[in-house]
Amino acid sequence: MKIKSLFTLFAFILTFTLSSHIFSNGVSVVNAATGIYLKLTNSHVQVNCESQVSVVTATQIFLNDLGADKNIKYAFPMPEGASAISLRWKINGIWYLAQINPNSQDTGLPGGTMNNNLKTHLGSTPLFFTIPQTVKTDSNLIVELKYVKLLPYSFGNVTFIFPNDYHLIQTAILNTQELDFNLTSPRTIDSIRLVSTQPVTEYSNNGNYAHIRSLLYETAATQNYTLKYSLNLNQLGLYSYSTMIPQSQLPDSLGGFFTFIAEPDPGSLQVIKKTFTLIVDRSGSMSGVKMTQAKDAAKFIVNNLNDGDRFNIVDFSDNVLSFRGGHVNYTNAARDSALNYINAFIASGGTNISGSFSTAVPQFSTSSDSSANIIIFFTDGQATSGITNTTQLLAHVRNLIVSTETNIFLYCFGIGSDVNVQLLTLLGSQNSGLAEFLGNDELYSRITDFYLRIRNPVLLSPTISFSPSNVIEVYPSPLPNLYKGQQMIVSGRYLQAGPVTVTLSGYAFNQPVSYQYSFNRIDSADSRYQFLTKIWAKQKIDYLLVLYYALNPTDPAAIALKNQIIQISIAYGVLSPFTSFGSVTPISETGNGQIINAETFVLAGNYPNPFNPSTIIKLQVNKAVYKTGYIRIYNAIGQLVKIIPFSINGKGVYEILWKGDLASGLNAPSGVYFYIVDLGDIYLKSKMVLLK
């Protein structure tokens, strides 16, 4: 049997029924202004997660029930921080694969400006792609989008959210909605649960592998998938993943890729005291829900400072005000006064960003590097008063910080679609911090969550070294500060396999601190870790973007950086701001893009066939593979009637028994059945006949 891709398998079932299971939840836009779309009939989300690194495959079936042939543009609500790595679709019986092109994506939509419901559904970082073929009336379009994302982590807890809520686009029911979540972790998985209220139809957790499946029939899609899991907090340290990719499959000669996740034991760490300033934009554009959330977020932070911290609040529109003339000790009285001060914020006037920093930064001149000196700054617009030129404004803030002779960590949050992305990105990157970009209604949740993550710093200005030193191209660069209960995720390249010692160094209480860990770099391709190439490419692109944004776009150095980003994006199949899905390639049903050949798994069919009352499905595994697989059995009209899990523990022949029973426990009736051997990224299919 040949290895088949997920799309092929869905098409295989669809030969017999339109009730196959598919993923969530892009939109096939016919007219963006008037809200005319192809009908979404089936949605399926498959997630393969290694610790906190998730590869998400979102597939949808759309039906053209509009009474005429239609041309459409596909739009998907990409989660912030995710990177698209594959897009393909099936139309008129043929699969097509989109190639990454060296052009920014075309955000224009048929029908013109998108309506508010569509805009809200797609969020702040949508992906767009024009399906080049016409969708014939009463026919189906199948679209699959795959992306990689690092999931948020805090004190062992990880959250996965998928935008499954489709009520702004259509209220009609979907034939099926399915979430298939697979988690592997070297740390013990203490718990895993689906927080959203979709039913759990399959559940397993053996400690290092967990699986949750949710399947809904004939129901409208009205809520996102939210899943949470907890990793054991007694098993901290460094966990690594590595793979060696054949040079024939790479654009360079550096075949080895690794990613490690490091988290020191919090029991051995002291928490560094903070000197903290919150800079709040209260310009006129912040009125309404944004101002309400800004005030709530500011009050949350003030309520959650630590004993021994010092703090202040600076707020601005055209004018700039300050809670106190300098940082004050955190006491109950100071807290209560600050809460009253925040309650009095009123949104009006322009946006004097330079003035806010002119007030806030000099107040740090009395601080020392034995504390974590932190500014959290959020704004929803462009600078309209004071210094408005981006280059001059960046220089102004940098000069202010340098003049304090103190290391200040600046974290920027841009709200809505009118922010100066270049300014905030560089303010963060040039001043030992970062920038994040939020939707209009995300301010409170995102900033409060972020503050809790940075509340307790334990390692400042960290650096990394390797012994032996034959490790290169390590990202992120510079490394972020390390906080209690948080992790550092680092990717790099290597030429030579073997053990390596990692040393993380930095400062705590103005004293040098270091932590050492060891891991092994393997000398062969590991099919489980092909995602490492994507993580590394994404982190390198992020690094190069910071360098690019620091330059004038017409500068030769900026042009060279842009070209380098484009080359990496195309070579490693990870979208960037300068690339998009463009040119189209028809693909065979076996084209699945995996770096694993057909000889790894061989499906030898089932014996006997026809059978009564039971049969054995035989799978040969020719490489050292360790994972849980699933036999999914469908009846002749495409209904899933039975799932049989099984374990693969290295090379060998595996025999999986089907007793001819249904999920309900009843005996299956006579007839033709189709089965899929689900191996995570690889799928094999065949059929069998039950005769009584």
Do 313 and 409 touch, CB atoms closer than 8 A? no
Indicate the burial class of 404 (C-beta count within 10 angstroms; 0-12, 13-18, 19 or more).
Answer: middle
Look at the domain 597-692 and name its fold.
Answer: Immunoglobulin-like (2.60.40)
- The CA–CA distances, whole Å, from 583 to 6, 418, 579 equal 22, 31, 12
Q: How far apart are CA 341 and CA 181, in angstroms?
A: 46
Q: Which two tokens stand for residue 331?
A: 């006491």
- Whether the pLDDT of residue 12 is over 80: the answer is no
Please, are residues 72 and 556 in contact by the beta-carbon 8 Å criterion?
Answer: no
Whether the pLDDT of residue 587 is over 70: the answer is: no
- Whether cis (ω within 30° of 0) applies to the bond prior to 613 is yes
CB atoms within 10 A of CB 8: 20
pLDDT of residue 19: 29
The 10s digit of each residue's pLDDT in 353-378 is 999 999 999 999 988 767 889 999 98
pLDDT value, residue 438:
76
What percent of the chain clears pLDDT 90, i.e. is strictly above it?
40
What whole-number distance in Å separates Cα of residue 38 and Cα of residue 75? 12
pLDDT of res. 270: 62
* 413-446 residue pLDDT tens: 888 777 888 899 899 888 888 888 877 667 777 7
Report the pLDDT value the prediction gives residue 8, as an integer from 0 to 100: 32
How far is the CA of 185 from the CAs of 104, 208, 229, in angstroms? Answer: 36, 5, 11
Task: Mention every residue, 6+ apart, whose C-beta is less than 8 A from residue 666.
Answer: none
pLDDT at 591: 35
Q: Mean pLDDT across the stretch 133-155? A: 91
- What are the DSSP E strand ranges found in 416-481? 434-438, 457-467, 471-475
In angstroms, rounded to a whole number, what is the distance separating the alpha carbons of residues 440 and 648?
47
Given a cut of 90, whether residue 188 has pLDDT beyond it is yes
pLDDT in tens, 449-493: 777 777 777 778 889 999 998 899 999 988 888 877 788 899 999
Pick the more confident residue, 5 or 327: 327
Short-list 60, 29, 6, 63, CA closest to 131: 29
If we measure between CA atoms, which residue out of 272, 454, 455, 277 comes closest to residue 363?
277
Residue 409 scores a pLDDT above 50: yes
CA angle 394, 326, 483 (to 5 degrees): 65
Q: Is the pLDDT of residue 329 over 90?
A: yes
Model confidence at 691, pLDDT cuts 50, 70, 90, reads confident
The pLDDT confidence band at residue 312, using thresholds 50, 70 and 90, is very high
Q: What residue spans define the domains of the chain?
A: 237-265+462-501+518-576, 274-455, 597-692
Q: Are the beta carbons of 223 and 197 closer than 8 angstroms?
A: yes
Q: What is the pLDDT of residues 610-632, one digit of tens each?
A: 899 999 999 888 877 777 788 88
pLDDT 10s digits, 372-385: 899 999 888 789 99
Mean pLDDT of 281-296: 88
Mean pLDDT of 257-266: 83
| Mean of pLDDT values over 70-94 | 89
Quote the percentage of the chain above a pLDDT of 70: 90
Cα of 447 vs its chain's centroid, Å? 18
What's the mean per-residue pLDDT of the chain? 85
Work out the average pLDDT over 226-247. Answer: 87
CATH T-level topology, domain 274-455? Rossmann fold (3.40.50)
More confident residue, 9 or 346: 346
Confidence band of 565 (pLDDT split at 50, 70, 90): very high
The four Cα atoms 626, 632, 633, 637 give a dihedral, to 10 degrees, of -150
Query: Which range (205-219, 226-240, 257-271) has the least confidence?
Result: 257-271
Give the model's confidence band at 350: pLDDT under 50 very low, under 70 low, under 90 confident, else very high.
Answer: very high
- Per-residue confidence (pLDDT) for residue 597, from 0 to 100: 40
639: its two tokens: 């209904």
**According to the model, what pLDDT value does residue 140 have?**
93
Q: Is the pLDDT of residue 22 over 60?
A: no
pLDDT at 680: 63
pLDDT tens digits for 42-66? 998 999 998 888 989 999 999 999 9
pLDDT band at residue 638, thresholds of 50, 70 and 90?
Answer: low
Residue 388 has pLDDT above 60, yes or no: yes
Backbone dihedral region for residue 177 (phi beyond 0: left; psi -120 to 50: alpha; all else: beta): beta
